[in-house]
Structure 1
Amino acid sequence: MRHWFKDQHLRSLLKNTSYLAVSKGVAAVGGLVTLAFAGRSLGVVAFGLLILVHSYAQAASGLTKFNSWQVVVRYGGPALRAGDEARFRRAIGFALGLDLASGILTMIAAMLLLPLVAPLFKLPEELIVPATAYCLLLPLMGAGAASGVLRLFDRFDLLGWQGTITPNVRAVLTVVAWWQQWPLLTFILIWFVTDLIGDLVMWWMAWRELKRRGKLSGIRPTLKAGPLERGWPFAISINLNSSLNTAWGPLARLLVGAVLSPAAAGLYRVASSIADAAQKPTDFLNKAFYPEVMRLDHRDKAPWQLMARTMILSALLGAVALLMILIGGEWLLRVAFGPEFVAAHGVMLVLLGVPLLMTVTFPLPAMLHAVGRVNLPLIANLIGALAYVALIFPLADRFGLIGAGAAFLAGRAVMMSVMALAVARERRRLTRA
């Protein structure tokens, strides 16, 4: 394994991953403190309502945002290396236009729909106005263009630092709210303000980086792809795929609230947050993997070798995190959240299957995008989502919270199985060519 680290692409990937890992480690502590003190202060039911308000905005953003950082990396990267300033500016402007247009339209739609769908998720009438106001964040939530600029300039250190702001500021304010025994509406305000701060910082960092490199002039939001070959088809495909992928978590919590109860949604959120901790090393690698693999010729063995090595490293790191959670998960629930949250332990054990799966399969969507098969991850995601929706109602009705977790795991397994078959087929095709 030692000779692997002579590969400059793997070294670059690991360097960028290390920036994200350190910051996410800090953010994870802040996130755990936030959930623990919010859970203890509000109790299971009120905590579940807080999660539903937050998840509604997240789901709305996830279902509609274009994940436009991939537009920046796909079109802006080659243009930057070729010295094509006009094409570079168009890539940034197109991504920015996608973010703003989708964010504003999503905000309007989410506000109008909320009174109609609130009863489905058992959201009480007195929280409809605060939840509607929370949707004001939606135009800023889709900061894909800003994230793409930082990835393009290899500023994963700034991305990592930005990722610590929201959870840590939220943790401090949540501790104060617990100490002062503030009501649920104050916690919703804390979530709103900290989300806003984190989003604004992301946009400011991207603006500053462009200005520092003399690339800011001439960038204007636009919905015209212009010289970007197949710009709109690519944007639509990644929008649909990333929308489904991003919305899995928030939608799962909303469905649990609808099928079971707000208290169950709160327990599910706590369980999934702990289970997701085992996937954090994989998330770091995933964010750095796509820009790196885009630089390689996929007819050679280098990108496939990079994929295999990162999968092995991810599995090793994930196994360590998974073992720690298996051993100390119930103790953590009892100590951090209180005895009433121990009921989340069963579904947490089921949800640990998701990071176990993702630690091995995470490069598959990026590889399909890199070889130009951008529709295949979308198809796989749709098949997995349909399997999840079909399973959650009967399984949750029969087995409760554990059944809801099992449906989520089954849906993800179906999705990644379809992608694995597609990647194997593409590799055979390219290596023969």
Structure 2
Amino acid sequence: MEPAPPPADRRPLFYRTWIGKGIAAVRRLGAPAADTGDQGPFRRIMTHLSWILGGKGYGAILSLFYLAIVTRGLGPAAYGSFALILSSTLVLQAILNFNIWQVLVKYGQEHIHSGDHPALARLIRFCTAVDLAMALLGIGAAALILWLGRGLLGMPAELVWTAFAYVVLFMLSIRNVPRGILRLHSEFSQTFLAEAVVPTLKTLGAVVAFLTHPSLEIFLIVWAGSEMASTLVFWWLANRSCRRAYGRPDGRHWWRVWRDNKGLPELMVASNFGTMAYTVAQQLPVLLVGSFAGATEAGIYRLAHQLTQSITIMAGFIGLASYTEMTNIYVKQGLRGVASLYVRLTLIALGLFLLLAPAIVLLGKPLLLLMSGPAFLGAYPFLLVLGLAACLQMATVSCEPMLMAAGRSRLIIGIRLAGTATLIAAIYLMLPEMGAIGAAWSKVLAETVTLLLLFGASFLVLRESRMPS
């Protein structure tokens, strides 16, 4: 007797072809490797992402609470001055700060893979020296800017010394190196603990300030103190992690890193341009709106910006989780191994784009009223436009980690320069004609240009990976 034929697959044809294949591919990517018992790259990214979601997601939720406290405690005008101080500090730090953790992760993976722990120790010392030098340079530049350019920022004279004290503490809160060490070791649980210090202390401090004496100076002290406390925790955890993994390797002669790490200058410049372009795109419009329309409009713009960043913060999570894994895969498998992971992460980012864009439209106004009250309801139009810009940014979240891991630093520099130039030119043209909302539309235009260039560059790299070696 012949066995009964298997039951017919009644699922739709499109499911059996496209959706079914996609699910199978993701399962293969996340499956443990047969020969080593190790997790697949997609599953490792999901593990990293769960810890980042724990730390950053926790911070994003608390940021809504302390943002509500600050806006209600200060009001539109004082919050505008508060926003100008924070934004000017972030822009200054971005211009002078190399995103050194990316350098540490890329070359550190290579040294760990080859077992060269002294070279890793030299790299860590070099990165620490660079971070400290840039912090001191930033403090000097801040003093000069506050002395000569206070009027251009729209900052009252009585806030100059308060702003300078905040800049000093913020610049000395250098934690790129310990953050890079923890990511290098994939210790995202430890990163969660250190990252959680900032939003926790900001929330507790904001509550105390609101109940006692809600002034701009007190809130700045709380913000600076939370950054410094997080830095101390980061360094303690990173030092413990290094000693547990490598003991005390000889890190002398750290200037030899130029010889140990091929392409180091290019990657440092690329990491600086990436961070600078991103931060300038986020914070420069606040400063220009403050200079053009006053502190109150700057505060309204920044409130809308922070809300859109909180809603679309998933983009940063995916980027942080994927960069370490992409670098690791590139060291072991080359560009072909990175390409398949990039495609799947891009599909996830595009799906989040489609989910979050309507959420911003539907939830934006109720969230503004709940958090900050009717006085800040004028931020809703900014929220819609900046939400579109943030969603465009989210769609490209896997592009830059892939290009950095593949050593395409020059491409990233050119793309970020083009995006920043587009933003500045658009603000110059739109702000006088459209008012503060013109700065928001300028950001949409800049993100559109950046999206097209990043996807174009990624396509070229993917095509190269398909060519026979």
TM range (shorter): over 0.9
Quote the sequence identity (%). Answer: 27
Partners of 1:413 and 1:342 lie apart in 2 by: 27
Which of 63, 66, 82 is residue 50 of structure 1 equivalent to?
82
DSSP 3-state at the match of 1:296: helix
- Give the letter aligned to residue 392 of structure 2: L
- 8 Å Cα contact 1:30-1:171 kept in structure 2: yes
Which of 415, 426, 429 is residue 391 of structure 1 equivalent to?
426
**Match of 1:232?**
265
Which of 441, 446, 451 is residue 416 of structure 1 equivalent to?
451
- Give the letter aligned to residue 307 of structure 1: Y
Q: For residues 289-308 of structure 1, what are the structure 2 equivalents within 5 Å? A: 289-297=322-330, 301-308=336-343
**Match of 1:247?**
280
Q: CA deviation at 1:138?
A: 4.5
Residue range with higher mean Cα deviation, 37-46 or 352-361: 352-361
Structure 2 stretches of 5 or more lacking a match? Answer: 1-21, 30-39
Q: For residues 147-296 of structure 1, what are the structure 2 equivalents within 5 Å? A: 147-219=179-251, 222-225=254-257, 226-296=259-329
Q: CA deviation at 1:246?
A: 2.9
- Give the letter aligned to residue 270 of structure 2: S
* TM-score (structure 2 length as normaliser): 0.88
How large is the RMSD of aligned CA atoms in angstroms?
Answer: 1.9
Partners of 2:69 and 2:432 lie apart in 1 by: 30
- Give the letter aligned to residue 400 of structure 2: P
**Match of 2:414?**
379
- 8 Å Cα contact 1:68-1:235 kept in structure 2: yes
**Match of 1:311?**
346
Partners of 2:251 and 2:272 lie apart in 1 by: 22
- Give the letter aligned to residue 28 of structure 2: K
**Match of 1:352?**
387
- Give the letter aligned to residue 30 of structure 1: L
Q: 1:361 aligned to 2:396?
A: yes
DSSP 3-state at the match of 1:66: coil
Q: CA deviation at 1:122?
A: 0.5
Structure 1 stretches of 5 or more lacking a match? Answer: none
Q: For residues 10-49 of structure 1, what are the structure 2 equivalents within 5 Å? A: 10-49=42-81
User: For each residue in 1:306-361, what CA deviation from the matched residue of structure 2 results, as whole angstroms up to 9, or x when unmatched?
Assistant: 11111122232343344333211101101110101110000110011123212321
- 8 Å Cα contact 2:190-2:237 kept in structure 1: yes
Given the superposition, is the C-alpha separation of residues 199 and 249 from structure 1 closer, same or farther in structure 2, using an over 3 Å criterion? farther
Given the superposition, is the C-alpha separation of residues 308 and 337 from structure 1 closer, same or farther in structure 2, using an over 3 Å criterion? same
- Give the letter aligned to residue 179 of structure 1: L
Q: CA deviation at 1:131?
A: 0.8
Given the superposition, is the C-alpha separation of residues 220 and 68 from structure 1 closer, same or farther in structure 2, using an over 3 Å criterion? farther
Partners of 1:72 and 1:221 lie apart in 2 by: 17
**Match of 1:336?**
371
Q: CA deviation at 1:151?
A: 0.6
Question: Number of aligned pairs?
Answer: 433
Partners of 2:212 and 2:434 lie apart in 1 by: 38
Q: CA deviation at 1:212?
A: 2.5
Residue range with higher mean Cα deviation, 299-308 or 51-60: 299-308
**Match of 1:71?**
103
* TM-score (structure 1 length as normaliser): 0.95
**Match of 1:82?**
114
Q: 1:92 aligned to 2:124?
A: yes
Partners of 2:446 and 2:436 lie apart in 1 by: 16
Q: CA deviation at 1:216?
A: 4.3
Partners of 1:177 and 1:387 lie apart in 2 by: 40
- Give the letter aligned to residue 344 of structure 1: A
Residue range with higher mean Cα deviation, 150-159 or 140-149: 140-149
Given the superposition, is the C-alpha separation of residues 82 and 201 from structure 1 closer, same or farther in structure 2, using an over 3 Å criterion? same
Q: CA deviation at 1:97?
A: 1.6
Partners of 2:295 and 2:147 lie apart in 1 by: 17
User: For each residue in 1:77-98, what CA deviation from the matched residue of structure 2 results, as whole angstroms up to 9, or x when unmatched?
Assistant: 1111211112111221221121
